[in-house]
Amino acid sequence: MWRFAWKNLLTRPLRTTLALIGLSIPILGVLGLYSISGGLKNLVDDTLEKIQGVVVLRENAPSPVFSSLDPEYVERIAALPHVKNVAAEVWGFPPSVEGTSFMAKAASTELLGRLRGQTQQQRMQNLFDPVILSGQDIPAHQGLQTAVFANALLPPDQGGGRFLDHRDVGQNRIVISRKLARDFAGPDGQPKQVGDHLTIGSGDAAEDFEIIGIYDTGSMFLDGVMITDIDVARRILNVPDTMVSNIYVEADDPRRMSEVASAIEAALPDVDAREMDELSTDFTRLLGDLDKFLLMIVSLALLVGVVGIVNTMLMSTTERFAEFGVLRTNGWSRGDVLRLVTAESAYLGLWAGLVGSVLAMVLVALGNQFIGGGLKLVLGPGLLGFGIGLSVVMGVLGGLYPAWRASRLVPMDAIRLGAR
């Protein structure tokens, strides 16, 4: 019967192809969205893996940029059991870098990119990169085991320079990422190097910074950060010395991280002490909600695809009334006719799923050529299987009503109707 169903589809190739396209595009959409979502999840996990400690923020603050804490908390946390290192940080958006503000930069990314002769890949990366200034308590950070940016410094033979140390306290010296070095390239198009200078702020408030180090974490979430001394950052960001953005904490034993986080939250009720596992779980939950929202949008496209299948199968069954009558006279039951038509629509769904999957594989491969910043779209066998399965289910659903209608025909009437 499956072979018969397959032959029925091939009888009208144009109609079959159109219905197939109608369903394969939403399937492509589903796979595309989930591949982006999966890529983001992997990127976040990779990024958080680099940060091993506990980040202490004001309660419910989404990130260090939007957090403010009393600097006295540093000493209170340091006094807690099993706390080994405590390092205060100030975070914020700098008013402007090299004469370009954050908002202006976002707005002019495409235009400037084109004028500078940047590749499409570079221009797309620029869309994801707000520049953030991080001020570190340098002596405290020097004691950290898991200092993300210091550990990501490029090797000397690649122009990595050095990280901030006691010589840089109170000095206009800065460490930037390889990506920012490229984004703020000189007039000759050459990326900034160690020893070059960078202007932060504008007008009378503009300050000149010497670049002393270049790092590369490979994550778009981290590579937009410029690091300098905490007091220098306070001056640039207008942050009073009565506050810090967050406090980075390491335990004497990494296995005691949860214990330390709980102790911090117990001692300081107005803070969140976030472990990276916890952040990862939060982000996964957020992505899950985003997936649901996106799936609702894609469902509309899926619905249109299913309506296309219904239409195709209705036309097909209406043209074949006499055929169904003949099948019934030859002992086919209503269920047999129902299965035949449903098998045809299931085939349509299967092929739409395969076409959608192949298109998604091609587009993901192309996308991965153009999107950088550590984001790799993910389209594994599980997701492909889900896409094909979803397409088959949609195909079957689309075929149910036409199949039911065909199966309800009285054989005699079917033959007479078909003969007209």
Partner 1 sequence: MIDVVDVIKTYRRGEQRVEALRGISCQIPRGACAFIVGPSGSGKSTLLYLLGALDRPAGGSIRIDGADLTGMSEADLNAYRRDHIGFIFQSFNLIGNLTALENVLIPFLPRGVSASLRDRAEALLDEVGLSDRKHHRPRQLSGGEQQRVAIARALIKDPVLVLADEPTGELDSKTGDEIYRILRRLQTERATTLVVVTHDRRFIRPDDLVLEIQDGQLLTDS
Euclidean distance between CA atoms 230 and 142, whole angstroms: 13
In the complex, the smallest distance separating the C-beta of residue 333 from partner 1, rounded to whole angstroms, is 4
In the complex, the smallest distance separating the C-beta of residue 392 from partner 1, rounded to whole angstroms, is 21
Helices (H), 160-275: 178-183, 230-237, 257-267
8 Å CB contact between 349 and 398: yes
Collect contacts of 256-264 with beta carbons under 8 A, ≥24 apart.
Answer: 256/82, 257/52, 257/53, 257/54, 259/82, 260/54, 260/80, 260/82, 260/83, 261/54, 263/80, 263/81, 263/82, 264/54, 264/56, 264/77, 264/80
In the complex, the smallest distance separating the C-beta of residue 360 from partner 1, rounded to whole angstroms, is 32
Give the residue with the Cβ less far from partner 1, 12 or 256.
12
Interior angle at CA 347, CA 344 and CA 349, nearest 5:
115
Give the residue with the Cβ less far from partner 1, 127 or 412.
412
Give the residue with the Cβ less far from partner 1, 167 or 416.
416
- Binding stretches for partner 1 (CB under 8 A): 1, 4, 7-8, 10-11, 322-323, 325-334, 336, 339-340, 410-412, 415, 419
Instruction: Using DSSP, state whether 203 is helix, strand or coil.
Output: helix
In the complex, the smallest distance separating the C-beta of residue 314 from partner 1, rounded to whole angstroms, is 19
Place of tokens 């990169």: 129
Give the residue with the Cβ less far from partner 1, 214 or 414.
414
Instruction: Using DSSP, state whether 303 is helix, strand or coil.
Output: helix
Residues whose CB falls within 8 Å of the CB of residue 150, separated by 6 or more in sequence, listed in order: 141, 144, 163, 164, 215
Give the residue with the Cβ less far from partner 1, 184 or 332.
332
In the complex, the smallest distance separating the C-beta of residue 4 from partner 1, rounded to whole angstroms, is 6
Give the residue with the Cβ less far from partner 1, 249 or 340.
340
Give the residue with the Cβ less far from partner 1, 4 or 370.
4
In the complex, the smallest distance separating the C-beta of residue 12 from partner 1, rounded to whole angstroms, is 10
In the complex, the smallest distance separating the C-beta of residue 336 from partner 1, rounded to whole angstroms, is 4
Residues whose CB falls within 8 Å of the CB of residue 251, separated by 6 or more in sequence, listed in order: 53, 54, 82, 83, 84, 257, 259, 260
Euclidean distance between CA atoms 93 and 200, whole angstroms: 11
In the complex, the smallest distance separating the C-beta of residue 34 from partner 1, rounded to whole angstroms, is 38
Give the residue with the Cβ less far from partner 1, 269 or 335.
335
**How many CB atoms neighbour CB 64 within 10 A?**
23
Give the residue with the Cβ less far from partner 1, 12 or 182.
12
In the complex, the smallest distance separating the C-beta of residue 331 from partner 1, rounded to whole angstroms, is 2
Instruction: Using DSSP, state whether 390 is helix, strand or coil.
Output: helix
In the complex, the smallest distance separating the C-beta of residue 339 from partner 1, rounded to whole angstroms, is 7
Residues whose CB falls within 8 Å of the CB of residue 143, separated by 6 or more in sequence, listed in order: 85, 87
Give the residue with the Cβ less far from partner 1, 134 or 407.
407
Task: Provide the CA 173 distance to its chain's centre, in angstroms.
Answer: 33
Q: Print burial letters for 217-249: b (CB count within 10 Å at least 16), e (below 16).
A: bbbbbbbbbbbbbbbbbbbbbebeeeebbbbbb
Euclidean distance between CA atoms 114 and 97, whole angstroms: 20
Helices (H), 147-245: 148-151, 178-183, 230-237
In the complex, the smallest distance separating the C-beta of residue 416 from partner 1, rounded to whole angstroms, is 9
Euclidean distance between CA atoms 367 and 340, whole angstroms: 40
Give the residue with the Cβ less far from partner 1, 1 or 205.
1
